[in-house]
Amino acid sequence: MHSPPPAARVLGTGTALPPHRYEQDELIAAFEAVWATRHHNARRVAQLHQAVQVGGRNLALPMQDYLGLDFTAANRAFGEVGLEVGAAALSAALDAAGLRPRELDCLFFTTVTGVSAPSLDARLVNRLGLRSDLKRVPIFGLGCVAGAAGLSRVSDYLRGWPGHRAALLSVELCSLTLQREDLSLANLIASGLFGDGAAAVVCGGAAVEPAASTGGVPEVLATRSVFYPDTEQVMGWDIGASGFKIILSAQVPQVVDQHMRGDVDAFLADQGLSLADIGSVICHSGGPKVLEAFERTLGLSREATALTWRSLKEVGNLSSASVLFVLHDTLRERRPAPGTLGLMLAMGPGFCSELLLLRW
């Protein structure tokens, strides 16, 4: 195998959750109370919310504040709470990397749960003391795939600027998109699956040596983006007067079954590798059926995806931040031996997938 030079090194990661924590049973009871007035089958709500195997979630706002929330108030809350958790996650990642805010050269920012102009990354310049010549790259619309895709774009940037340091920040406050009048199956599932949080990854180019305190860090060796034609209605948002209405098709696990193994095999073959060479996998916690499809099509054991399952249970699906939470946990708790090859993967609106080859 010819090992390509690294495009980027992960120097540090950080995560942050809003302070309002609720167990899933508390949330189920609240949803049942609200939707019972619509003559909806409350038992069905409980069944769907239990099936996603989420134990609890952190929400942007106290539970009672959601009852009268319209799109304007929800988006205002996104800006306020998003700034807090975003600043906390990026500060933690910079600290883990042993860097001061002014040492950051480029900041990629991704979200799919709120809109603002200027985007939150601009507001972080003053908040954290980032440089005025910081390159900012806000990304909107990639959804769940954006954690992996954003890290790919960071590595693309650092391949061209090997002496720079760049960060990816994901802020997803999914609870603020709740549609109380939507009793579709997709909305009922989403209301039990998605949570709120922020995650950041700080990377350096090939010419940047990681601080000794960071220990062994993963390098990004190669990336691949895959778009599946005519699948735009598999996942996404229908954005209207009431805000973000979920589009979530039951076809997602089928897309994984149909495409993921072939995509991974082709990607690795182009690097002179196969799945047998991969010793670590970091995947997005999309939900039980999606995770089972990943395991099935890639021949992964439950042990290989254990941190992803745990993240799903502890905080829910955090959209683009989820795969970064799993990366963070891997660095803290299950860092592979040096030289181990790893694979990061996620899927999202498009419908599309993003693959990264890592070396620890």
Q: Active site includes 144?
A: yes
Place of tokens 């803290």: 332
The catalytically annotated residue of 144, 174, 283, 352 is: 144
SS (H, E, C) the chain: CCCCCCCEEEEEEEEECCCEEEEHHHHHHHHHHHHHCCCCCHHHHHHHHHHCCCCEEEECCCHHHHCCCCHHHHHHHHHHHHHHHHHHHHHHHHHHHCCCHHHCCEEEEEECCCCCCCCHHHHHHHHHCCCCCCEEEEEECCHHHHHHHHHHHHHHHHHHCCCCEEEEEEEEEHHHHCCCCCCCHHHHHHHHHECEEEEEEEEECCCCCCCHHHCCCCEEEEEEEEECCCCCCCEEEEEECCEEEEEECCCHHHHHHHHHHHHHHHHHHCCCCCHHHEEEEEECCCCHHHHHHHHHHHCCCCCCCHHHHHHHHHHCECHHHHHHHHHHHHHHHCCCCCCCEEEEEEEECCCEEEEEEEEC
Q: Which residue numbers are catalytic? A: 144
